Structure formats: structure tokens, C-alpha cells
Chains A and B, each alone.
Chain A
Amino acid sequence: MRNILEFRQVDYSYHSMDGEVPALENITFSVGEKEFLVIVGPSGCGKSTLLDLIFGLISPECGEIAGDRDSIGYMLQKDHLFGWRTIEKNILLGLEIQHKLNAETRAYATELLQKYGLYDFRNKRPSELSGGMRQRAALIRTLVTKPQLLLLDEPFSALDYQTRLNVADDIGSIIRREEKSAILVTHDLSEAISMGDRILILSARPGTVVRTIDLTFDPALSSIERRETDEFKHYFSDLWKEMNQLVP
């Protein structure tokens, strides 16, 4: 399997007049093609910093990051849909910025709108949509630019539980169907197990890689179906113990 992203001994610190706060230390890992990596860790362990580093919003102080930045799609924690644009115009924002707006990409946007039940709402303003719909709109905004690697920064945390399971299931299956790679940051352990191929556990600040867990499930299972298997329970108790050791 070819790696599409590699971290080699990466360090990152935040600086202020009060001093230096190390956020990440000696991070080494890689993500392969079509792989779904989940990063879990206690809050404040630098998970979001890690995503910013991957995307290139910030640069590492030490170490090396290899990968093709142009084919990364970054989905932030909140939808940040613009109130002055309609849903459709919001979804086309990424294409506009990347000068990829043409008949073909518009048709793809329309296809995604229909697939995710937002087509009838395409001319509405974001304030007229529910939280789940807005999050789906944000996902379409990211997907429509056809990234190879998706970065998901707790994208479901703003949703109610039922919507959250459904949207996570949807997104998981799209990513597999479209043969994309993904890195999901979450603090929800069952979400991590139900969606990932591999879990990377970070320690409390400064974050270091404590352990990786490879997940083996029947590839035909959806993320909701995974939750009903015995392996799921086994992985969950393993992960639970590990996390409790990090935060006693």
C-alpha cells in the first residue's frame, strides 16, 4: 500500500510572551491510500493542531511531513456556512476559490445535493436548515472539490445523537465508496472504532503517539453494523483501558 501522507518525528509548540507550550512531540505515522485513520486522545492533546499541520495551515518546528497538500479536503468542527450565501452558493465556495467551477463540477454538486436530501433546500439560507442538514452541506462543500484525503475535525460533535450516528454512517460509507483516505479526529471512542481502519492514540499535552490499534472488521459492514459485533466490544474495552491510563 502506497502512503499518501507521512509524518517523521514532528514537533510543534505554541509560543507566547508567557513562554513556550509544547503541543506535539515526536509524532511519526503514515496514512495509506484508501485508509481511514482515527486519532483519539484526551482533550487538549493537540489533535486539531495535528490536522492543521497535515493540511499545512501551520508548519512543523522539527521533523518532516510528506504528502500532496493540494488533494486534501479539510472539514472543520462547525459548518461555518455563510449567512449571506444560499446553500448552493455555500457548497460551490471551494470550487469558486480553486477556479474549478464549470458545468461538470456544478453537475456533481447537484448530484451530491440530491443524494443528501438538500436539493430542495439549495436556495435557502443556512439559518433555515437544521444542524444535521447544515453539517451535510458542509460535507458536500468539502467533497465537491474531490479531495483524495479528507481531514475531519470532530465533524459530528455539534449534532444530536441520532443524527450523529446517521451522518457518521453516511460519511463513512461515502469515503469507502469513493475510495478516499481519511483522518478523523474525535473523542468519541465508539465512533472511532465504528469508522476507522486504524486508531492512533495520543497522550495528554504534549501529545505523543502512545499506541496504534489496527481494526479488523468484515469490510461489508457499515459503521452502524460494526457496533453490533463482538470485535467492537473487544476493541472498545481495549481502547477504554488505554484511555483511562492516560487520564487517571
Chain B
Amino acid sequence: MSRNDLSAQDLYVRKQKHTKILIRVLQYAILIAFLVLWEISASLGWIDSFIFSSPSKLFLCAKRLLANGDLTGHIGITLMETLVSFALVIAVTLLVTVLLWLNKPLSRILEPYLVVLNSLPKSALAPLLIVWLGANYKTIILTGMSVAIFGSILNLYTGFMETSPDKIKLIRALHGNTAHVLFKVVLPSNIPNLFSIMKVNIGLCLVGVIIGEFIGSKQGLGYMIIYGSQVFKLDWVILSILILCVIAMVLYFLLGRLQKRFTRE
């Protein structure tokens, strides 16, 4: 009987592992198939490689740009601007949300303004910011922030307000004050919420930074995309887009790792 149980368990584990491997293989297979199809259709002339480029052309282009150091500079600038605006968004969100939570009348007064600012297409603000503050990296960081900040304050505030009133009562029943309610219940119970906000924000900050670079920059991947399209160096444009994909994926992955570490229950 027990031997039967063991083999059933083995079978189950094997099946689970098998499924996991199959999913991973298929994920890579799609990528490889896409690249191969792209390369073949470009070399056989099914698509115009001048406007659609091809993996081999992109590879050579990347090699050339890496050799003269241009590409690493552009990537570095975009990455720096994204990470700084992301960090500032999180810090400002936490600060403002705590203030709103501490002062309920203030949050009721400001609510319509936050809602309007959040539903505004933030890309519309970027040209204004650049005229006001000048075409420099600080403005671009601000553009990145402007895309993410209002939504993340609204979301976190909703999370704060949804903290179970009974859990807050428990802290009071243990003779705790408002600071205890904040640090022992409201913040810890919102950590999963904060992580999902962060996962959305990292992408939004990247979007904002690229918009900023489109309009007012001489550096960064957004600049490369605009400049490349203007001089018809579409290799540059497509390469930059691919690099943005990789950056977005890596940042999201790192946040996921961080989340796992903090929300083990």
C-alpha cells in the first residue's frame, strides 16, 4: 500500500515537473520561431528589411553601437531616469498616502483633484514640463513620475482605507495609538498591494521617461527612437524597442523576486 502511495506521489511530482518544463520550452520556442521567421522573410525579400530590419542586421547594428559606446550611454541614461523616477514615485506615494490617511478631511478635499490628474493623459503634460523646466534629465524624471504618481496614490489610499476595521480595533484594544495602527496593521497589510502598485509603476515610469525623451532630450532610448525614425535608421528604432522590452522584463522580474521575499506567509 505504502509503495503504491509513493509511486503515485512520484508520478504526480513527475507530471508537475514535466508540465513546467514544457511551458518553458514552448516560451523559448515562440521567441526562436519569431526570430527565425523574421530573418528568413527578410533575407528572402518577403518583407523590406530597410523598414522591418532583421535579427542579423540588428545584431550587427548593436555590435557597432556598443563598440563606440553610444548604446550603453543611451541605455544607462534611460535606465537611470526610470529608476530614479520610480524610486521617487514610491517615496512620494507613501508619504502623501500616509498624510491623506492621517487627515481624512484633507483626503476628501483633494479627492476630485487627484481623480482629474489621474485620468488626464499625462503625455499631454510633457511638452509643458519641458518648456517650463528645460530639456534636461530632471524634467524627464518628472515626466516619468507624472505618469505614475496619481494613480499609485489613489490605489494605495484605497488599500489603506480597506484595512479591516476590526484589526485596527485590535491595536486600540492593545492600548496602541495611531502610529501603532499605521506601522503594525495598515502598512504591513498593504505590502502585497504596494508590490502590485510597484509592478504597474515600473512600466509606467518607463513609458513616461520615453515620452520625455521623445520631446526634449539628446540622450536615451527615446531619443534614439525619434532620431532614428527621422533619419530613417530604422535599425536604431527597432533595436531600441527591443532593448526597452528587455529592460521592462528585467525590472518586472526583479520586482517579482523582491515581492516573493517580502510576502512569504
The answer on A and B forming one complex is: yes
Q: In the complex, which residues of chain B have a beta carbon less than 8 angstroms from the beta carbon of A96?
A: 184
Stretch binding the partner chain, chosen from A80-88, A161-169, A234-242 = A80-88
Q: For the complex, count residues of A whose C-beta is within 8 A of B.
A: 20
Q: In the complex, which residues of chain A have a beta carbon less than 8 angstroms from the beta carbon of B170?
A: 76, 80
* Residues in B192-227 with C-beta less than 8 Å from chain A: none
Complex-state Cα separation, A55 to B176, whole angstroms: 12
Specify the chain A residue showing the minimal Cβ separation from B168.
A80
The answer to whether the Cβ of B44 comes within 8 Å of any Cβ in the partner chain is: no
* Residues in A46-105 with C-beta less than 8 Å from chain B: 55, 57, 70, 74-76, 78, 80, 82-84, 93-94, 96-98
Specify the chain B residue showing the minimal Cβ separation from A145.
B174
Known contacts A93-B184, A127-B265; A80 and B166 CB within 8 A of each other: yes
Q: In the complex, which residues of chain A have a beta carbon less than 8 angstroms from the beta carbon of B184?
A: 82, 93, 96-97
* Residues in B105-130 with C-beta less than 8 Å from chain A: none
The answer to whether the Cβ of B180 comes within 8 Å of any Cβ in the partner chain is: yes
The answer to whether the Cβ of A205 comes within 8 Å of any Cβ in the partner chain is: no
Check B174–A84 contact: CB distance below 8 A: no
The answer to whether the Cβ of A227 comes within 8 Å of any Cβ in the partner chain is: no
The answer to whether the Cβ of B189 comes within 8 Å of any Cβ in the partner chain is: yes
Number of A-B pairs, beta carbon distance below 8 Å: 46
Specify the chain B residue showing the minimal Cβ separation from A83.
B265
The answer to whether the Cβ of A180 comes within 8 Å of any Cβ in the partner chain is: no
Check B172–A57 contact: CB distance below 8 A: yes
Q: In the complex, which residues of chain B have a beta carbon less than 8 angstroms from the beta carbon of A78?
A: 166
Check B191–A98 contact: CB distance below 8 A: no
Complex-state Cα separation, A55 to B173, whole angstroms: 8
The answer to whether the Cβ of B63 comes within 8 Å of any Cβ in the partner chain is: no
Q: In the complex, which residues of chain A have a beta carbon less than 8 angstroms from the beta carbon of B174?
A: 74, 93-94, 97-98, 141, 145
Shortest beta-carbon distance from B231 to chain A in Å: 54
Complex-state Cα separation, A78 to B164, whole angstroms: 12
A-B contact list, 12 entries, CB within 8 Å? A57-B173, A78-B166, A80-B164, A80-B166, A82-B167, A82-B189, A84-B191, A84-B263, A93-B184, A96-B184, A98-B174, A127-B265
Q: Which 4 A-B pairs have the closest CB atoms?
A: A74-B173, A94-B174, A97-B176, A80-B170
